[in-house]
């Protein structure tokens, strides 16, 4: 787990979720390809494991969001969170 944490430094939560989902899909595809038929794959599904090699391959496919993209999303979030705030009147209403 320490290795995974080091290798995902700079990844957002969404990036890590994407890596994890990709690793699961890789494991699933491998499992299905080794099975004789769908029924065989279903029977052996309880033994399905996501291995380090699946995460290694997923990390090659999924790259973290660039700092420029992250800054753009932060600006976007700030802009919309400011516009969503209620306006407070500073002058008394007559």
pTM for this predicted structure: 0.67
pLDDT in tens, 49-77: 999 999 999 999 999 877 787 788 788 88
Q: What is the pLDDT of residue 24?
A: 96
> Could you give the domains of the chain?
2-84 (1.10.8)
Exposure string (b/e) for 4-19, b if CB count within 10 Å is 16 or more?
A: eeeebeebeeeeeebb
Task: Print the SS3 string covering 38-58.
Answer: HHHHHHCHHHCCCCHHHHHHH
Residue 19 in contact with residue 58, Cβ under 8 Å? Answer: yes
Flag whether pLDDT at 89 surpasses 80: no
From the CB of residue 54, how many other CB atoms can be counted at a distance below 10 Å? 21
The encoded tokens of residue 18 equal 């994407």
């Amino acid at each position: 787990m320490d290795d995974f944490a080091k290798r995902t430094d700079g990844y957002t939560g969404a990036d890590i979720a994407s890596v994890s989902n990709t690793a699961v899909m890789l494991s699933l595809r491998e499992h299905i390809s080794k099975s004789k038929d769908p029924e065989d794959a279903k029977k052996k599904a309880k033994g399905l494991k996501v291995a380090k090699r699946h995460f290694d391959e997923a990390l090659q496919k999924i790259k973290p969001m660039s700092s420029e993209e992250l800054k753009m999303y932060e600006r976007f979030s700030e802009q919309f969170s400011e516009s969503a705030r209620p306006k407070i009147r500073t002058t008394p209403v007559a």
